[in-house]
Structure 1
Amino acid sequence: MKFIVQWKGQPSIQLSAIERFMKTGGLPPENVTLLGRWHAIGEIGGVAIAEAADANGLAAWLIQWGDLLSFTTTPALNDEELGAALAAYQASLK
């Protein structure tokens, strides 16, 4: 399953976040695949797309940063997956 992960932090954590990111690369655990990550310019925040079999690995990854950042995590579908869900919905209306 894919997840949209958004994060935000306050300016007061900037140096700690830089230090941790430079040390770890912000990489997820082995059971989570980071598909892409983008950082906002001029603020402490961004978005990542990750894939995992379940939310356990994702939770472990975000807990590593929970002392510095707040997260919003949402399950995500690509166009093909959403199309299948929409087709099933349309079929249920008949």
Structure 2
Amino acid sequence: MKYIVQWKGLPTTQRPAIERFLKTGGRPPENVQLLGRWHAIGELSGFAIVEATDASGLARWVLQWGDLFAFTCAPAMSDEELGATLAAHQAASA
């Protein structure tokens, strides 16, 4: 399943966040595949799209950074996946 992971940090966490990111690369655990990550310019925030077979690896990754950032994580679907779901729903409702 794919997830949208968003984070926001306070300005006071900028220095330790930079140090940790440069040291670790911000890589997720092995059972979480990072599909893409984007960072906002001028603030300590951004989002990533990841894929995981279960949410435990995602929880582990968020906990590793939880002292520096507040996170939101939500399941995500591509246009194709959503389209198939909507078509099945519409067919079942007819």
Cα RMSD, aligned residues only: 0.5
| Cα drift, residue 7 of structure 1 | 0.2
Give the 3-state SS of the residue equivalent to 2:65 in structure 1.
coil
Structure 2 counterpart of 1:67: 67
User: Which runs of no fewer than 5 residues in structure 1 stay unpaired?
Assistant: none
Give the 3-state SS of the residue equivalent to 1:64 in structure 2.
helix
Alignment of 1:31-46 (within 5 A): 31-46=31-46
Tell me, yes or no, if structure 1 residue 84 matches structure 2 residue 84: yes
User: Which runs of no fewer than 5 residues in structure 2 stay unpaired?
Assistant: none
Give the 3-state SS of the residue equivalent to 1:17 in structure 2.
helix
CA offset digits 1:29-78 (Å, max 9, x no partner): 00000000000000000010000001110000110000000001010000
Q: Give the distance between the partners of 1:29 and 1:82, measured in 2 at CA.
A: 27
Q: Give the distance between the partners of 2:7 and 2:52, measured in 1 at CA.
A: 18
Q: Give the distance between the partners of 1:79 and 1:55, measured in 2 at CA.
A: 22
Give the 3-state SS of the residue equivalent to 1:26 in structure 2.
coil
Runs of 4+ in 1 over 4 A off after TM superposition: none
Q: Give the distance between the partners of 1:19 and 1:91, measured in 2 at CA.
A: 52
TM-score by length of 2: 0.98
Q: Give the distance between the partners of 2:72 and 2:92, measured in 1 at CA.
A: 31
Indicate the percent of aligned positions where both proteins have the same amino acid: 69
Structure 1 counterpart of 2:50: 50
